[in-house]
Amino acid sequence: MNNFDFHNPTHILFGKGRIADLSAQVPVKAKVLILYGGGSAERTGVLGQVRSALGDRDVVEFGGIEPNPRFATALKAVDLITETGVTYLLAVGGGSVIDATKFIAAAAKFEGDPWDILTSRGAVVKDAMPFGTVLTLPATASEMNSGSVITHADKGAKLPFRSPHCYPKFSILDPELTYTLPSRQIANGVADAFVHIIEQYLTYPVNSPVQDGFSETLLRTLIDLGPKALEAPEDYDIRANLMWTATLALNGLIGAGVPQDWASHMIGHEITAFNDTDHARTLAVVLPALMNDQRETKREKLLKFAANVWGIHDGDEDARIDAGIKATVDFFHLLGIKTRLSDYNVTASDIDTIIGALTDHGMTALGEHGAITPKDARRILETAL
């Protein structure tokens, strides 16, 4: 196993009715900025619950954070913080609202050009405002990690950053808040969490039976519960297990001490930056093509994945790898997610633009060996057309 540091300071409050516990988490004297998205939190009543749980605290609100949150929108929230003297941030929403809040928390304390936060991948962040989250969409694990992804529409860039200053102080995970999610968002969440696990598992062996075993259990749970969550939107146990699985998929636990890939994510981000395709759908396109392309470097783990996640034991090695990739594609289809670039209006000539952007953003040595070049990424995308 590789050396690692593991420190996750986020306090999780999980279960029914936990918004009521907000009052004990947010400092009494805080001036709070509630951040939310395009209106679902208002419609579903979550914002109403949050406002009443905050009681007499001085509260300011900022809505309109987009899916794939925009740099320009986040800067408006930073201005509002300066104008109003807010001291504490509270994100109410999915990964987009939480990611934007992380960026806003860092940018509000940053002296230079906030764009540097993204181009440095967070290295320049030395401080951030404190913030908590109320999660409404299980998918990204942003509620329990220090990462964030921000889109700059004019630059055609979707860039990730992370900083130890950007862990939420606390996150409220009430599975009942997910009942109102459209099927498309549940499917996206299952696929995104699935690929998060794969990015940390499907690399090469380093003798890490605990991390591998946790990963396989999380994958099997998503395979079991994903389709059921679509069929039975108000089944508490299904939603509860899905929510906790998505959090564990990317809170640092399964990735500690093991090599990590993240090439599918970095290539997928460029597709979203290109035409706003849902994050999870870009992954469902790139991952199967990447697994196929990288079958030699990933051979041992692909065989373990086929056997332990899908129960595939028959046939020679390549037949078992093929069957594992096919099972993955079939799973995305079962969730209602298409897996070809052409399904998302990306043509062969668009691949030039996507690869150009990947190169411009310095994503030139991807994967667990840093060996996937833009030329390799192009080949992978061409097989996914």
Of 140-169, binders to ligand NZQ (CB under 6 A) are: 140-142, 145, 147-149
Least separation, in Å, of the C-beta of 59 and ligand NZQ? Answer: 18
Does residue number 132 form part of the binding site for ligand NZQ (CB under 6 A)?
Answer: no
| Residue 181 interacting partner from Zn ion, ligand NZQ, none (CB closer than 5 to 8 Å by kind) | ligand NZQ
Does residue number 270 form part of the binding site for Zn ion (CB under 5 A)?
Answer: no
Q: CA dihedral defined by 25, 28, 34, 40, rounded to 10 degrees?
A: 60
Alpha helices in 10-162 (DSSP H): 22-25, 40-43, 46-54, 71-84, 95-107, 115-119
Q: Which range, of 49-57, 177-185, 343-351, 354-362, touches ligand NZQ by CB under 6 A?
A: 177-185
By CB atoms closer than 10 A (0-12, 13-18, 19+), residue 373 is middle
Give bridge partners of residue 158 from the DSSP assignment. 151
Residues 6+ apart with CB under 8 A from 103: 69, 71, 74, 114, 117, 118, 148, 150, 161
Q: Which range, of 33-41, 237-245, 307-315, 316-324, touches ligand NZQ by CB under 6 A?
A: 33-41
| Residue 258 interacting partner from Zn ion, ligand NZQ, none (CB closer than 5 to 8 Å by kind) | none
In the list 49, 73, 96, 245, the residue contacting ligand NZQ (rule: CB under 6 A) is 96
Of 179-208, binders to Zn ion (CB under 5 A) are: 192
Integer Cα distance of 125 and 367 in angstroms: 25
Does residue number 10 form part of the binding site for ligand NZQ (CB under 6 A)?
Answer: no
Contacts with Zn ion, 278-317, as mask; x by CB under 5 A: ----------------------------------------
Query: What tokens does 333 get?
Result: 């289809």
The residue to which tokens 């969490």 are assigned: 193
Q: Are 91 and 148 in contact (CB under 8 A)?
A: no
Of 378, 270, 286, 265, which is closest to residue 329 (Cα–Cα)? 286
Integer Cα distance of 364 and 88 in angstroms: 38
In the list 73, 95, 249, 372, the residue contacting ligand NZQ (rule: CB under 6 A) is 95
Nearer to ligand NZQ, 225 or 321 (CB): 225
| Residue 156 interacting partner from ligand NZQ, Zn ion, none (CB closer than 5 to 8 Å by kind) | none
Does residue number 260 form part of the binding site for ligand NZQ (CB under 6 A)?
Answer: no
Contacts with ligand NZQ, 329-368, as mask; x by CB under 6 A: ----------------------------------------
Contacts with ligand NZQ, 34-73, as mask; x by CB under 6 A: ---xxxxx--x----------------------xx-----
Integer Cα distance of 70 and 270 in angstroms: 15
> Coil, strand, or helix at residue 13?
strand
Of 37, 218, 81, 66, which is closest to residue 149 (Cα–Cα)? 66
Q: Measured in Å, how far apart are the chain's first and last C-alpha atoms?
A: 37
Q: Are 279 and 272 in contact (CB under 8 A)?
A: yes
Nearer to Zn ion, 192 or 368 (CB): 192
Q: Are 65 and 94 in contact (CB under 8 A)?
A: no
Of 184-223, binders to ligand NZQ (CB under 6 A) are: 185, 188-189, 192
Give the footprint of ligand NZQ on this chain (CB under 6 A): 37-41, 44, 67-68, 93-97, 99, 136-137, 139-142, 145, 147-149, 177-178, 180-181, 185, 188-189, 192, 250, 265, 279
